[in-house]
């Protein structure tokens, strides 16, 4: 695997959550810098060294509600 994609969302309680597409990896952190560290750590823990993706792509999702 060359690449893994994470969906990143702002948490209602504050901070950020990230979950991998196609893998059972989930992590959270209070800020973006810490989230990067947590994602890297989670990826290293989830995969064997030979299977670790070379690229981690973050896709930021922001939900907005518009009242009529």
DSSP code of 31?
Answer: S
Residue 22 Cα distances to 12, 35, 58, angstroms = 24, 19, 14
| Contact present, 61 and 8 (Cβ < 8 Å) | yes
Q: Whole-model pTM?
A: 0.87
In the block, tokens 């009529």 appear at 68
pLDDT tens for residues 20-39?
A: 999 999 999 999 999 999 99
Angstrom distance (rounded) from CA 42 to CA 57: 14
Q: Does the structure show a pLDDT above 90 at 64?
A: no
Domain boundaries, the chain: 3-61
């Amino acid at each position: 695997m060359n690449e893994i994609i994470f969906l990143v969302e702002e948490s209602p309680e504050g901070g950020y959550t990230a979950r991998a597409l196609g893998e059972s990896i989930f992590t959270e952190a209070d800020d973006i810098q810490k989230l990067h560290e947590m994602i890297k750590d989670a990826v290293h823990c989830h995969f064997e060294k030979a299977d670790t993706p070379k690229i981690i792509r973050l896709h930021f999702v922001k939900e907005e509600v518009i009242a009529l």
